[in-house]
């Protein structure tokens, strides 16, 4: 039975929940304020009734602590729970999203005060004006002339690809801008212009935040820190995801021709492999030569390449279903064999300058892993020169899928080839392609059996 103690106009109610492993008594305390203008006896009666209901509600919630703030809960989750359930790169990305967009707004709110209505307002605000990430653009790239660009990169420990993108006039994040300004011994404002746009986040980005926040609340409920997950009653953010971009069959041929005409043979092989397999960019850049069985023509997709704290890390694939084997066409096997011989010759010419001893299938000029951002830029240069639609590396995966769909390959086979866990993912992602394919099938039947012109000619 909870104890009740009157303190001024309120009642302090304490429930005793047993003892912990050290023998310390566990207890929970709450405060009850009776309505105004009731007699003392009536107030005490209402306090007893409240105490019974409250004690019954918290029974079994030994660790219930809804007086802690969301910021405190997030810290607990990312230090004790997430490292055991999420891959390092995924954990970093999810944590950044919560700390960049959610904690600044409601981090100080106590868990007991977080409601579905509050979260509805939060997600609506994020979609309206949720971009808190500042963007910066270099004012004058001649600032590096006296140093020499390559020497500056090496001496200051800068990431080469990021540095040259900034030199080309592309925007960068505040962290990178501050690092370069500090390397120059100058203030951020002296070196960069703040070009941040006050715009809203996409529905897909807000929905990802909702899912990540819900995971924190779910963990708290399982550990009996919270009674309920307020995200479960939130109205899902509207997601206006455009259909996946891809090239048609003729455009794919034009891309392959353009890739053949340019001078980088490794890039030609990569583009061919993307179109032939539908492999993800991280999976392709993580390939080693022992992932290829050139006798059977099978490519084993077992790893993906991620960047953690500025360094490339080769880890297991996105999901268990992403680990798969893909049978390669003879033409691709021939390209890979030639690429391997050229790589051996180039590696021998570099000798000790070859940076990475690992047997990486596709490398940068020093034998290390390829940067997907740089690879994407090279693809964009090719498609632009060829007059093709503006696509990115992942568009080649979508192109592979669309070619299979239009060749009447079943959704199950396509899902297995792409590494989707279920055919639902495949059908949802490429619903517009399946719909177009069905229209073509209907037209083919109509022409064969029900065409008016055909009936007249007969």
pTM over 0.75: no
**Unique residue bearing structure tokens 């696509």:** 391
Distance CA 24, CA 391 (A): 62
Confirm if 286 and 305 have CB atoms less than 8 A apart.
yes
Beta bridge partners of 317: none
Distance CA 25, CA 29 (A): 13
Confirm if 29 and 13 have CB atoms less than 8 A apart.
yes
Q: Which two tokens stand for residue 354?
A: 């070859």
- pLDDT tens track for 8-17: 889 999 988 7
Distance CA 34, CA 302 (A): 63
Q: Which two tokens stand for residue 89?
A: 């790169």
**388-392: Cβ within 8 A, 24+ apart:** 388/247, 388/251, 388/254, 388/255, 388/258, 389/245, 389/247, 389/251, 391/245, 391/246, 391/247, 392/245
- pLDDT tens track for 34-65: 998 889 899 999 999 998 888 777 665 445 67
Distance CA 341, CA 422 (A): 38
Strands 3-7 and 10-19, bridge-based pairing: antiparallel
**CATH 1.10.150.130: which residues of the chain?**
70-131+201-233
Nearest 5°: CA angle at 280, between 168 and 167? Answer: 5
**Which class is domain 135-194?**
mainly alpha
Q: Which two tokens stand for residue 169?
A: 């006039």
Q: Whose CA is closest to 88, among 304, 387, 408?
A: 304
Architecture of domain 249-388: Orthogonal Bundle (1.10)
**CATH 1.10.260.40: which residues of the chain?**
135-194
Confirm if 126 and 203 have CB atoms less than 8 A apart.
no
The pLDDT assigned to 308 comes to 81
Residue 249 CB neighbour total at 10 angstroms: 12
Q: Which two tokens stand for residue 124?
A: 């609506």
Q: Which two tokens stand for residue 117?
A: 């209505």
The pLDDT assigned to 455 comes to 46
**Unique residue bearing structure tokens 């479960």:** 232
Q: Which two tokens stand for residue 187?
A: 């203030």
The pLDDT assigned to 354 comes to 84
Q: Whose CA is closest to 299, among 272, 263, 319?
A: 272
| Tens digit of pLDDT at every position of the chain (458 positions) | 688 999 888 999 998 876 655 677 777 888 999 998 889 899 999 999 998 888 777 665 445 678 889 999 999 999 989 999 888 888 988 999 999 899 999 999 999 999 999 999 999 999 887 766 788 999 988 888 877 888 888 887 777 778 888 888 888 888 889 989 998 889 999 999 998 876 788 888 899 999 999 999 999 988 888 889 999 999 888 777 677 788 888 999 999 999 999 999 999 999 999 999 999 999 999 999 999 998 999 999 999 998 887 788 898 887 776 788 999 999 999 999 999 999 999 998 988 888 777 799 999 988 899 989 889 999 999 999 999 999 999 999 888 888 888 777 777 888 888 888 787 777 677 766 666 655 555 555 555 565 555 444 54
Fold of 70-131+201-233: DNA polymerase; domain 1 (1.10.150)
User: What are the two backbone dihedrals, phi and then psi, of residue 244, each rounded to the nearest 5 degrees?
Assistant: -60, 130
> 3-state secondary structure string, the chain?
CCEEEEECCEEEEEEEEEECCCCCEEEEEEEECCCCCCCHHHHHHHHHHHHHHHHHHHCCCCCCCCCCEHHHHHHHHHHHHHHHHCCHHHHHHHHHHHHHHHHHHHCCCEHHHCCHHHHHHHHHHHHHHCCCCCEEEECCHHHHCCCCHHHHHHHHCCCHHHHHHHHCCCCEEHHHHHHHHHHHCCCHHHHEEECCCCCCCCHHHHHHHHHHHHHHHHHHHHCCCCCCCHHHHCCCCCCCCCCCCCCCHHHHHHHHHHHHHCCCHHHHHHHHHHHHHCCCHHHHHCCEHHHEECCCCEEEECEEEEEECCEEEEEECCCHHHCEEEECCHHHHHHHHHHHHHHHHHHHHHHHHCCCCCCECCECCCCCECCHHHHHHHHHHHHHHCCCCCCCHHHHHHHHHHHHHHCCCCHHHHHHHHCCCCHHHHHHHCHHHHHHHHHHHHHHHHHHHHCHHHHHHC
Distance CA 64, CA 28 (A): 8
Half-sphere exposure of 79 (CA within 13 A, CB side): 6
The pLDDT assigned to 62 comes to 47
**CATH 1.10.443.10: which residues of the chain?**
249-388
């Amino acid at each position: 039975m909870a104890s009740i103690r009157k303190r001024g106009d309120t009642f302090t109610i304490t429930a005793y929940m047993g003892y912990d492993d050290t023998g310390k008594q566990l207890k929970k305390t709450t405060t009850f304020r009776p309505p105004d203008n009731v007699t003392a006896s009536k107030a005490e009666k209402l306090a007893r009734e409240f105490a019974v209901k409250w004690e019954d509600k918290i029974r079994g919630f030994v660790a219930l602590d809804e007086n802690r703030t969301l910021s405190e809960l997030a810290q607990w989750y990312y230090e004790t729970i997430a490292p055991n359930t999420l891959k390092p790169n995924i954990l970093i990305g999810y944590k950044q999203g919560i700390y960049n967009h959610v904690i600044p707004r409601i981090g100080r709110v106590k868990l007991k005060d977080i409601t579905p209505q509050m979260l509805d307002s939060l997600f609506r605000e994020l979609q309206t004006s949720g971009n808190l990430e500042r963007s910066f653009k270099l004012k004058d790239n001649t600032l590096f002339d006296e140093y020499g660009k390559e020497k500056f990169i090496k001496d200051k420990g800068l990431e080469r690809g990021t540095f040259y993108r900034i030199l080309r006039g592309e925007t960068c994040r505040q962290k990178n801008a501050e690092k370069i300004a500090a390397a120059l011994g100058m203030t951020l404002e002296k070196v960069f212009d703040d070009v941040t746009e006050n715009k809203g986040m996409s529905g897909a980005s807000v929905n990802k935040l909702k899912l990540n926040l819900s995971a924190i609340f779910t963990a708290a409920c399982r550990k009996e820190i919270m009674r309920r997950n307020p995200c479960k009653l939130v109205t899902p953010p509207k997601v206006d995801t455009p259909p996946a971009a891809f090239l048609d069959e003729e455009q794919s041929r034009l891309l392959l021709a353009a890739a053949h005409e340019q001078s980088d043979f490794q890039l030609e092989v990569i583009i061919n492999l993307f179109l032939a397999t539908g492999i993800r960019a991280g999976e392709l850049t993580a390939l080693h030569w022992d992932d290829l069985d050139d006798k059977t023509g099978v490519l084993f997709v077992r790893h993906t390449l991620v960047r953690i704290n500025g360094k490339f890390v080769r880890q297991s694939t996105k999901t268990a279903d992403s680990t798969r084997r893909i049978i390669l066409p003879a033409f691709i096997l021939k390209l890979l064999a030639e690429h391997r011989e050229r790589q051996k010759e180039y590696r021998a010419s570099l000798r000790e300058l070859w940076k990475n001893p690992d047997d990486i299938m596709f490398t940068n000029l020093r034998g290390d892993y390829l940067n997907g951002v740089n690879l994407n830029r090279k693809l964009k240069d090719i498609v632009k020169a060829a007059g093709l639609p503006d696509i990115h590396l992942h568009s080649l995966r979508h192109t592979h899928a669309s070619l299979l769909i239009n060749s009447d390959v079943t959704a199950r086979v396509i899902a297995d080839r792409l590494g989707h866990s279920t055919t639902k993912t495949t059908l949802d992602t490429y619903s517009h392609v399946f719909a177009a394919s069905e229209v073509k099938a209907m037209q083919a039947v109509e022409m064969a059996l029900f065409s008016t012109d055909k009936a007249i000619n007969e």
